[in-house]
């Protein structure tokens, strides 16, 4: 499972690409006021938050004077849908009709097939370094092998766990010694995908 510290939402990507485009057109980076005006933010504080994230992600240089400076783009990025939250704990309800955002992830994380991303909520997978607030990258598929980390639906609720297929049941194991596995002998259950990557904001 790959782990990176770079993950851009749709808006973060739009701001970064505006900065790149502005520099190409004007041979300088935009000011905070110019970014605020272009995107219609109510205050410069919003711009400062976005710029800070882009600096932490390695897409902008740290500059003590506050000037926005570009660095080389570290990876080829590809966008996948960010579909909401998944529980690293007990299953949480899903909303199949919700609008979704897009997130940019390194292309090396993406292979054949369809992929999506989810925010992690809870601490049941902390021993596998999947923390509350992380974003997991998931390959969409309906089957899994023993020991793989999966996103599953249990009675309509979504959860992320280690998958094991026993003779007469399915076991979904947390990676937190304080928690117990989810045992499924019957009922509404399906594998929705296998976790292939992790995006973390520092």
Residue 62: CATH number of its domain: 1.10.10.10
CB neighbourhood size of 176 (10 A)? 17
User: Dihedral of the CA atoms 60, 5, 11, 9 (nearest 10)?
Assistant: 160
Asked whether residue 107 falls in the same domain as residue 51, the answer is no
Calpha distance 18→118 (Å, rounded): 26
* Confidence (pLDDT) at 19: 87
- What are the angstrom distances between the C-alpha of 187 and each of 57, 169, 183? 43, 11, 11
- Residue 5's pLDDT is 43
Same domain, 27 and 56: yes
Which CATH number fits the domain that encloses residue 86?
Answer: 2.10.109.10
* Max avg pLDDT among 50-59, 165-174, 183-192: 165-174
In this structure, the answer to whether residues 81 and 171 fall within a common structural domain is yes
d(CA 197, CA 162): 15
Domain count, the chain: 2
List C-alpha distances in Å: 47 to 33, 77, 167.
Answer: 8, 22, 55
**What pLDDT does residue 201 have?**
61
Name the DSSP class of 94.
Answer: -
Does residue 101 sit in the same domain as residue 12? no
95 and 57 in a single domain? The answer is no
> Which residue shows structure tokens 């882009």?
54
Farthest-apart Cα atoms in the chain, separation: 66
Residue 7 pLDDT: 60
> Which among 70, 93, 116 is the end of a domain?
70
Q: Does residue 85 sit in the same domain as residue 170?
A: yes
* 65 part of the active site: no
pTM of full prediction above 0.85: no
Residue 45: CB partners within 8 Å, gap ≥ 6? none
Per annotation, catalytic residue among 161, 167, 186, 190: 161
Does one domain contain both 20 and 109? no
Q: Which two tokens stand for residue 172?
A: 């979904």
Checking if the pLDDT of 81 tops 90, the result is: no
* Shared domain check, 181 and 95: yes
Phi, psi of 194 (to 5 degrees): -115, 135
* Pair 43, 137 in one domain: no
In this structure, what token pair is assigned to residue 24? 């190409």
Q: For 46-58, what is the mean pLDDT?
A: 86
| The last residue of a domain, from among 10, 45, 70 | 70
Per residue in 121-144, pLDDT (tens digit) is 999 999 998 999 888 999 999 999
Q: Are 111 and 164 in contact (CB under 8 A)?
A: no
- The backbone torsions φ and ψ at residue 81, rounded to the nearest 5 degrees and listed phi first, read -70, 140
Task: Kindly state whether residues 171 and 82 are assigned to the same domain.
Answer: yes
Whether residues 188 and 102 share a domain: the answer is yes
The answer to which of 7-21, 56-70, 93-107, 185-199 has the lowest mean pLDDT is 93-107
Domain check: are 107 and 170 in the same one? yes
Domain that includes residue 172, residue range: 77-199
Active site residue 124: yes
Domain endpoint, select from 33, 51, 70: 70
* Catalytic-role residue among 10, 42, 43, 124: 124
Is the pLDDT higher at 61 or at 36? 36
Tokens standing for residue 98: 């919700």
Would you say 94 and 85 are in contact if contact means Cβ atoms under 8 Å apart? Answer: no
- Asked if 155 contacts 141 with a C-beta cutoff of 8 angstroms, the reply is no
């Amino acid at each position: 499972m790959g782990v990176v510290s770079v993950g851009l939402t749709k808006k973060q990507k739009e701001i970064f690409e505006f900065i790149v485009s502005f520099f190409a057109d004007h041979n300088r980076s935009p000011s905070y006021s110019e970014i605020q005006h272009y995107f219609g933010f109510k205050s410069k504080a919003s711009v400062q938050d976005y710029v800070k994230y882009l600096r932490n992600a390695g897409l902008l240089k740290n500059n003590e004077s506050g000037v926005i400076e570009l660095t080389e783009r570290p990876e080829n990025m590809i966008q996948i849908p960010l579909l909401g939250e998944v529980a690293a704990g007990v299953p949480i309800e899903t909303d199949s009709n919700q609008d979704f955002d897009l997130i940019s992830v390194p292309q090396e994380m993406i292979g054949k097939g369809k992929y999506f991303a989810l925010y992690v909520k809870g601490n049941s997978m902390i021993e596998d370094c999947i923390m509350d607030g992380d974003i997991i990258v998931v390959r969409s598929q309906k089957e899994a092998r023993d020991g793989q980390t999966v996103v599953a639906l249990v009675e309509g609720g979504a959860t992320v766990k280690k998958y094991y297929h026993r003779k007469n049941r399915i076991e979904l194991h947390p990676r937190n010694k304080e928690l117990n596995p989810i045992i499924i002998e019957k009922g509404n259950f399906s594998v929705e995908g296998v976790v292939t990557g992790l995006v973390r904001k520092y």
